[in-house]
Amino acid sequence: METSELAHFSEVVGMIYEGATDPSRWTKDILPAVGEFLQAPISVMFNPLKMPQDGGLAFIHGMPQQQMDVYTTHYYKIDVHAQMAFAKGLVFEGNVILDTDILPQAQLRETDYYKEYLAPWDITYALNAIVFGVNSISEAPACVIANWRRSNGMPYSEGDRDKLKLLVPHLSRSLGVMQRIQSAELTAASTLAALDRLPMGVVLVDMHSEVTFANHSAHRMFEMGDGLRLRKLSDTAGLGRLIADSDAHSQAIHSAILATVNRDPYATEHFSKYVTVPQTSRLTCYTLQFSALGNHHEYNTGNNAPAAIIFIADGHQSEKVNPEILRGTYGLTNAEARVALVLMECATLQEVAGCMNTSIDTVRTHTKQIYAKLGVDTRARFVKLMMGLASSRTC
């Protein structure tokens, strides 16, 4: 991007993070800014598998509420864009889809969906992004941002696709924080006291990577000294730096924090991409998710304003599958059962290998056997089966 466009991008990204703690900003400020950046007069972000009448989110810019209501109560059932995107395998996390990826304009104009819904509202060109996919490992519900141009506008280009791709990780992080907070039934403008009530660890850091706040759950993790801790710096007023027992994992945490607080347009990863840190006393990992915070929020801790929030999940405290079920019912070996349990806590096979102190080739071999014995062929199906086994266990 050119300098002026990069400055515009940074302004939009800064606004996106305001939505993490103030959902009213999405409709009022954020989607209009995204629409302007993409030259899209209409921009809508919603849960495609959970309509607003069923509790799904729907933030709208440039579209009358009536138009959205008609879609969510009727026309979503004949939305050929959505149907064909699923059929073509285009609906995966982080993907950005041009309307022509799905079907040519000439074919679209022959459909009832176009004639009855799009044409009367003068919607012609579409650019959509999958912010969260189905069965996202971030545990966020499926979410799409749709950007439309009218018939007097230009078709979307590959350049437009690239611009939206850069926004998606930031959208995912802001929404991820918002939904984490809302899932705990906290107010949008959450206070530090409210963060203390969250069951997962929550850490706030400033622009210098200094921890300015850690909730009760995070403090308990640090006190255990089981892979994560705070290193106090003598010349600062904060709580210290978040580090791991190994230099490599400490560097991974530091790099993730720097990319987050700097809002790097090219290095920022999706909210579902987390850092894993092995626990030293057992075969599980901590998982850390990072997101920047907006310039205006309720997490004021004094002179050093927090610039980012980190969620820490303790794999040992997560609901587990009884390994006896995996061995007795599905015939997994002891080694395969151990890999299956760790695979639930890690995003990649490389991270599983790191947690288990073994080679990635060994993990890959075990994973192939695990999938075959469980009768699954994708990670999403594996996670769904394992979650079902965990929730159905008896004491």
Judge whether residue 328 has pLDDT over 90. no
* Residue corresponding to tokens 């760790």: 342
Structural domains of the chain, with CATH: 3-183 (3.30.450.80), 192-314 (3.30.450.20), 323-391 (1.10.10.10)
Q: For residue 377, what pLDDT band results from cuts at 50, 70 and 90?
A: confident
State whether residue 131 is helix, strand or coil.
strand
> Which tokens belong to 164?
């939206």
* Residue-level pLDDT at 51: 73
The predicted-structure confidence for 264-323, as pLDDT tens digits, reads as follows 777 777 777 788 898 887 667 888 989 888 766 556 555 568 889 999 988 765 556 778
Q: So what's the pLDDT on residue 393?
A: 41
Give whichever of 29-38, 339-348, 352-361, 385-394 has the largest mean pLDDT.
29-38
Q: In whole angstroms, give the CA distance from residue 55 to residue 16.
A: 22
Closest by CA to 45, choosing from 213, 183, 182, 170, is 170
DSSP characters over 199-261: SSEEEEE-TTS-EEEE-HHHHHHHHHTSSEEEE--TT-SSSBEEEESSHHHHHHHHHHHHHHH
Are the C-beta atoms of residues 331 and 373 closer than 8 Å to each other? Answer: yes
Instruction: Give me the chain's average pLDDT, please.
Output: 84
